Structure 1
């Protein structure tokens, strides 16, 4: 009988509990700030393109910063890296919270804050597999993903109302406080977690070694292909403000539209970790990636807020396959290079999301927000077919060579 670890088993691990709570409350602040920035820019400019471009600024900088910074998570104690990063981001966001900050300054600060995100994520992702053993790790990743979705829902749903009542500076001030709380929880509740050693000591060598790890394993390359498809599926978040305006609804609907995908992701994470048989995890990735695109294409036919909420929620359910992709990827990477390699992968994911939102913004400016969402869905579905075939070939070759997949069933 399949005796899977329970959520209680995972939460009972003290270090995971500290990491989990710290990240969850920090993400809540992030979502409040994200809604605040989107509404602020659209109110000042009335431009879907500029609003999407500003939203993309919260996703694209890691493409540059991750290769430069994430190797630090393999050279210094990972707790120290996380605490330092959180304190720095708290200070930057506190400046963003000052009322009347010009949009140009706000954009620069957004870039600075987001540029530090890969370093925090690299250290956290490197710690988790050492804190949670065996299938506890998959359950822990699923729980973290579901919790992340919950706080996104709360942040998005409350964000529009909060900004309407108090202004954007309050939401960003709350975000600054959550970074301070996160730093405190990590400092008190998590061990140092020194890297195992062997990591390159320069940025260039660290990046080169990380790229070689990814390029040298067909499974890692195929998993990244499946992961980066999410850049198409996240497009509605960047267009939520313009979509609400197109359908004649107010700012309060913006948060609800943004919350649709996280709600679905929460449900999907729970379904995949608790109900999907372990033996089916590998073979389900390609099909789930393809069908994730269908609701986006459908939502372009009859634009409406209720319909979009339902369809975009379904996208979140289906695209939660990325949680399994993440868990499989991290477990394949050696601890000594996990910070750099996972940081590079995470940077690519954020970059794909930023590019997806930016492209969707251009399409919305040329046509309409609803049509832009539909085009992104069709394009994502076509590429998902290719990515799924690549993953199937990588799995088949690994089986044929007698490597990896016996281990993968424990992910």
Structure 2
């Protein structure tokens, strides 16, 4: 098993021989799609099913958060408990990412994805039951959040099987990020319109239907492949063995210096970026723009992210996108410095759109990471990456709120830019020292001045 600091893995190779799985289409050749750009990725039929399933489940998560928040507030009249429904969408990532991460590689990917969607569908359906206590509603929300990193990591590993490594994988991941950002915009809008027409319970019922549809798409639209880490025998399938494997695998990933450096590069910029985002509602109140202005501010970062991802994936080649990794990683935390001047609504929106464009730094991170991680541990590594990113973002949001209790917003928001710039530069230096950028399936990465 080559290490990230050793020889680069050979070019894209199938994790398992192409085969027809029962109830699914033939597995795609792991050499990936022919051609270039997003169009070539969409030309792979199996990816289209994964993309459609992710679109449905992402919308389901966003709409579920809105509907559950409204439902809890109507039941309790408590702003704290209502807000807690959003926080519970982030914090359980740590639990799922550390205790369940081995699931992504120890069980067949299609089975894991379908089961995760089924769990989410059942949890959303249970929320609809009349008389469900608030504590149970919040617990069901935790269940959805706990399986989310396992689902995300398994899906990321599956993209390697469907599209192959290198450029197709990177573009596939980019399309998933575009869906994530677009779901925030469409989900909040759809959720608001639905809640204006029907009850929160009915909206949660629709959410259960989206998860069910996602599960069916994955079940019948993707091929059955054996577990990446080998088939699980009856003696190894116990809960204790799974927890032990998850914890041991996470420790191995964090102990590997190149992988650890790339994980930090994936985690640190988002943690500082969300600080101004977490304070947009009070900042809108400071400007006196009302709910409409606050909603407009919240759209800024997703719009910038979607535009940047689409343009970079369409207009730039692999080498150019890779060269942007470090510059955009630093740039994404800098626009928050502009909040020191207490910008008006228009200028604040510009700053947020610019912040969102920094998401394009992930092109290089994905390329380096998938080449650095051993093939049999790719699903778990992606699970840990996603869990760590969401957990640290949740903690950063909480700390931003605490800081805003004691300092003015025009101080707290730009402080994230100062701290972020220093932190990202330190992480970039560690990535350079670790040699993580040279562990690539398609040759060394050109040095970036």
TM-score by length of 2: 0.79
Deviation at 1:339, TM superposition (A): 2.0
Partner of 2:161: 130
1:226 pairs with one of 265, 274, 296 = 265
Are the aligned partners of 2:38 and 2:314 in contact in 1 as well (CA < 8 Å)?
no
Partner of 1:407: 443
Q: Which has the larger radius of gyration?
A: 2
1:190 pairs with one of 213, 218, 222 = 222
Partner of 1:172: 204
Cα gap change, 1:305/1:323 in structure 2, threshold over 3 Å: closer, same or farther? Answer: farther
5+ residue gaps, structure 1, are none
Partner of 1:23: 54
Aligned partner of residue 308 in structure 1, secondary structure: helix
Partner of 1:144: 176
Cα gap change, 1:319/1:342 in structure 2, threshold over 3 Å: closer, same or farther? Answer: same
Partner of 1:286: 326
Cα gap change, 1:172/1:111 in structure 2, threshold over 3 Å: closer, same or farther? Answer: same
Counterpart-to-counterpart distance in 2, 1:39 and 1:379: 35
Deviation at 1:23, TM superposition (A): 0.2
Aligned partner of residue 194 in structure 1, secondary structure: coil
1:248 and 2:273 aligned: no
Cα gap change, 1:320/1:160 in structure 2, threshold over 3 Å: closer, same or farther? Answer: farther
Partner of 2:110: 79
Q: Deviations over 1:69-123 (max 9, x none)?
A: 1212212211111111111111212233467866544332222210011121122
Deviation at 1:315, TM superposition (A): 0.8
Equivalent runs, 1:322-341 vs 2, <5 Å: 322-341=362-381
Are the aligned partners of 2:297 and 2:348 in contact in 1 as well (CA < 8 Å)?
yes
Are the aligned partners of 1:214 and 1:341 in contact in 2 as well (CA < 8 Å)?
no
Cα gap change, 1:327/1:152 in structure 2, threshold over 3 Å: closer, same or farther? Answer: farther
Counterpart-to-counterpart distance in 2, 1:105 and 1:371: 39
Cα gap change, 1:268/1:184 in structure 2, threshold over 3 Å: closer, same or farther? Answer: same
Equivalent runs, 1:8-407 vs 2, <5 Å: 8-36=39-67, 44-45=77-78, 54-97=85-128, 103-133=134-164, 134-163=166-195, 166=198, 168-198=200-230, 201=236, 202=241, 203-216=243-256, 218-229=257-268, 230-367=270-407, 371-395=411-435, 404=440, 406-407=442-443
Counterpart-to-counterpart distance in 1, 2:276 and 2:186: 17
Partner of 2:4: none
Deviation at 1:285, TM superposition (A): 2.2
Are the aligned partners of 1:160 and 1:255 in contact in 2 as well (CA < 8 Å)?
no
Cα gap change, 1:325/1:398 in structure 2, threshold over 3 Å: closer, same or farther? Answer: closer
Counterpart-to-counterpart distance in 1, 2:408 and 2:199: 28
Deviation at 1:45, TM superposition (A): 4.2
Are the aligned partners of 1:159 and 1:255 in contact in 2 as well (CA < 8 Å)?
no
TM-score by length of 1: 0.86
Deviation at 1:266, TM superposition (A): 1.0
Counterpart-to-counterpart distance in 1, 2:367 and 2:84: 30
Are the aligned partners of 1:94 and 1:176 in contact in 2 as well (CA < 8 Å)?
yes
Q: Deviations over 1:303-322 (max 9, x none)?
A: 54433332212111113313
254-263 or 54-63: bigger deviation: 254-263
- Aligned pair count reads 401
Counterpart-to-counterpart distance in 1, 2:253 and 2:289: 48
12-21 or 200-209: bigger deviation: 200-209
Aligned partner of residue 317 in structure 1, secondary structure: helix
Aligned partner of residue 234 in structure 1, secondary structure: helix
Deviation at 1:346, TM superposition (A): 1.4
Cα gap change, 1:398/1:262 in structure 2, threshold over 3 Å: closer, same or farther? Answer: closer
Aligned partner of residue 407 in structure 1, secondary structure: coil
88-97 or 276-285: bigger deviation: 276-285
Counterpart-to-counterpart distance in 1, 2:47 and 2:368: 19
1:6 and 2:28 aligned: no
Deviation at 1:164, TM superposition (A): 5.1
Counterpart-to-counterpart distance in 1, 2:288 and 2:254: 46
Counterpart-to-counterpart distance in 2, 1:386 and 1:327: 20
RMSD: 3.1
